[in-house]
């Protein structure tokens, strides 16, 4: 039908490798910027990102959040300060995903985040005050295109 738009999504790619984080700490798994991780066609230039947090081990407390932060590359070096458990304000808060009281593995999603800096890297913070968790952060690009 003329004038319609379709949602076009890329494939999930790991942007922060699996790692463990103790209570209220930042996950320290290696990070890959969006341009490198989403290298198929023009995906890294799509305007939106979807995030998928996969908790692979640990006991997930009731209503626990994993926060996602953007480390911008304003100077082109991807060398912005990396937040630790007491200074998360040093990176840009993107959003949180919520998990319920269950045993891993579990998945939760954050959809429609602005892809304002394809050279940025992203990282997670374990907001669970009592449990160590192991998690991986994945992203996929999303855009809209005209229906044919």
How many angstroms separate the Cα of 104 from the Cα of each of 8, 108, 138?
A: 30, 12, 17
Provide the token pair at 122.
Answer: 């992203």
Of 66, 35, 73, the C-alpha closest to 52 is 66
Give 100-137 pLDDT, tens digit per residue: 878 889 999 999 999 988 888 899 999 988 889 999 99
Question: How is residue 26 annotated by DSSP?
Answer: B
Place of tokens 């800096």: 117
Task: Please name each of the domains of the chain with its CATH number.
Answer: 10-142 (2.60.120)
What secondary structure does DSSP assign to 60-97, as a single string? EPTTEEEEEEEE--TTSSS-PPPP-TT-GGGSEEEEEE
What secondary structure does DSSP assign to 130-144, as a single string? S--EEEEEEEEEEEE
Give 44-71 pLDDT, tens digit per residue: 889 999 999 999 999 888 889 999 999 8
pTM of the predicted structure, to 2 decimals: 0.86
């Amino acid at each position: 039908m003329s004038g319609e738009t379709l949602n076009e999504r890329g494939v999930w790619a790991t942007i922060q490798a699996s790692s463990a984080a103790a209570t209220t700490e930042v996950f320290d798994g290696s990070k890959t910027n969006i341009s490198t991780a989403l290298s198929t066609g023009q995906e890294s230039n799509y305007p939106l990102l979807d995030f998928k947090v996969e908790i692979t081990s640990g006991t997930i407390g009731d209503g626990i959040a994993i926060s996602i932060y953007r480390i911008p590359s304003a100077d082109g070096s991807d060398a912005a300060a990396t937040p630790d458990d007491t200074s998360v304000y040093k990176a840009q808060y993107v959003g949180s995903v919520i998990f319920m009281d269950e045993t891993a593995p579990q998945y939760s999603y954050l959809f429609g985040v602005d892809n304002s800096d394809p050279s940025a890297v992203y990282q997670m913070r374990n907001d669970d005050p009592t449990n160590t968790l192991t998690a991986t952060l994945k992203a996929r690009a999303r855009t809209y295109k005209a229906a044919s």
